[in-house]
């Protein structure tokens, strides 16, 4: 059954009401041709290529492990608004990041009128040594504006300074409760993100607490992950650790998105959970939706160590959509999506910093 958010801002029955309250635009893509000829645009398969502008996204390879993702119709008068996430796809220990984002426009040379706009994401992928490597990947971009206080919370930011505490510029962050998000620098490669207004708000202590995804934002090999995150009464705090190719803590910019009772592009059609070990039934407080039959996890053992199948109530829709994965906990371990399908759900793989399969906690999100 598709998720319903009867008590929150978003409702599956009336998505138009959300649009009337807020300006939310998004796009996602599964880049499934990692070794296309350099400079040639291609359109990934339609079922996993979505854009709220109604225009198709496209991908172009610039060189080994170096790609442009073109999202037409989503530009804005304030450059680089929105947030981008990227997750490597496949069975090897590759990882991918956002190198930078760019807004492009076509302007009438006579009148100066903006005829069309687009958002472009520069994505780079690497092997465990830090060398660029052709890799499949998933990417998403979301832009939200306005104020939408409610039980369905949403916040994001792109950090703008990698070595000191700061408040990212207004065009690099969003908070559905109208607060300002902040980044606290804790030391080399360590950060704490404060998302005011994203707390429990006096809800039942057993109420669902939300979900977070993190992506490194750097031009060369870095991996950023959730060290831990905490939901308090009035805020949510996300501890982020970033590592270089040697697996050493290293300063890096990054992107963070937090969502409660919604997916990573802030609509209700999706699923997420936080796998905190080998549990078969994840904690419901970190899992969405709670529809029967619930979310379950099958963990590989022995030669299958570091492999997981995550089955959710949204499995029936998983011939479509977009998946992101973030490793959680200390150390340079990282996780990625290996595949997703309607039969078994989402397959996740986790690796050590040197590329060995490993059992590791992670957060996984599906958006339709």
Domain range annotation of the chain: 24-143, 149-259, 270-367
Pairing verdict, β 173-175 and 154-158: antiparallel
Model pLDDT, residue 301: 87
- The continuous run of DSSP H or E covering 29 comes out as strand 23-31
The domain defined by 24-143 carries CATH number 3.30.160 = no
Model pLDDT, residue 139: 99
What percent of the chain has a predicted confidence (pLDDT) above 90?
A: 73
Non-local CB neighbours of 94 within 8 Å, separated by 6+ positions: 88, 125, 126, 127, 133, 135, 336
Query: In 3D, which of 136, 153, 181 has the Cα closest to residue 322?
Result: 136
228-277 tens-digit pLDDT: 999 888 899 999 999 999 999 999 999 999 999 999 999 989 999 999 87
Using the predicted structure, report yes or no on whether residue 11 has a pLDDT greater than 50: no
Pairing verdict, β 334-341 and 182-187: unpaired
What percent of the chain has a predicted confidence (pLDDT) above 70?
A: 89
Q: Residues 280, 328: contact at Cβ < 8 Å?
A: no
Using the predicted structure, report yes or no on whether residue 93 has a pLDDT greater than 50: yes
Q: Is 28 exposed, middle or buried (0-12, 13-18, 19+ CB in 10 A)?
A: buried
Long-range contacts of 297-306 (CB under 8 A, 24+ apart): 297/273, 299/359, 305/357, 305/358, 305/359, 306/349, 306/350, 306/351, 306/356, 306/357, 306/358, 306/359, 306/360
Q: Residues 135, 115: contact at Cβ < 8 Å?
A: no
């Amino acid at each position: 059954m598709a998720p319903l958010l009867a008590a929150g801002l978003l409702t599956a029955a009336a998505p138009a009401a959300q649009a009337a309250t807020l300006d939310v635009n998004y796009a996602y893509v599964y880049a499934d041709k990692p070794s296309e000829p350099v400079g040639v645009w291609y359109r990934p398969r339609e079922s996993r290529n979505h854009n709220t502008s109604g225009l198709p996204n496209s991908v172009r390879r610039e060189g080994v492990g170096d790609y442009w993702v073109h999202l037409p119709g989503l530009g804005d008068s304030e450059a680089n608004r929105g947030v981008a996430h990227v997750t490597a796809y496949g069975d090897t220990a590759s990882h991918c990041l956002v190198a930078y984002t760019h807004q492009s426009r076509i302007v009438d040379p006579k009148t100066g009128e903006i005829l069309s706009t687009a958002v472009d994401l520069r994505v780079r992928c690497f092997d465990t040594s830090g060398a660029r490597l052709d890799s499949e990947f998933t990417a998403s971009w979301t832009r939200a504006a306005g104020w939408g206080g409610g039980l369905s919370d949403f916040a994001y930011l792109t950090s703008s300074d990698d070595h000191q505490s700061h408040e990212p510029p207004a065009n690099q962050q969003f908070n559905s409760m109208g607060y300002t998000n902040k980044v606290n620098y804790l030391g080399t490669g360590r950060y704490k993100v404060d998302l005011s207004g994203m707390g429990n708000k006096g809800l039942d202590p057993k109420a669902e607490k939300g979900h977070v995804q993190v992506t490194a934002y750097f031009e060369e090999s870095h991996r950023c992950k959730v060290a831990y995150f905490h939901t308090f009464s009035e805020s949510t705090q996300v501890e982020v650790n970033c590592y270089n190719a040697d697996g050493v803590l290293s300063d890096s910019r990054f992107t963070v998105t937090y969502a409660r009772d919604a997916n990573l592009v802030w609509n209700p059609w999706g699923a997420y959970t936080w796998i905190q070990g080998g549990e078969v039934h994840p904690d419901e407080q970190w899992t969405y939706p709670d529809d029967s039959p619930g979310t379950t996890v099958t963990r590989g053992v022995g030669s299958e160590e570091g492999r997981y199948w995550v089955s959710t109530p949204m499995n029936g829709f998983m011939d479509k959509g977009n998946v992101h994965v973030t490793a959680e906990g200390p150390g340079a371990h990282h996780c990625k999506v290996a595949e997703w399908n309607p039969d078994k759900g989402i397959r996740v793989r986790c690796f050590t910093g040197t590329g060995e399969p490993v059992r590791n906690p992670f957060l996984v999100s599906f958006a339709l």
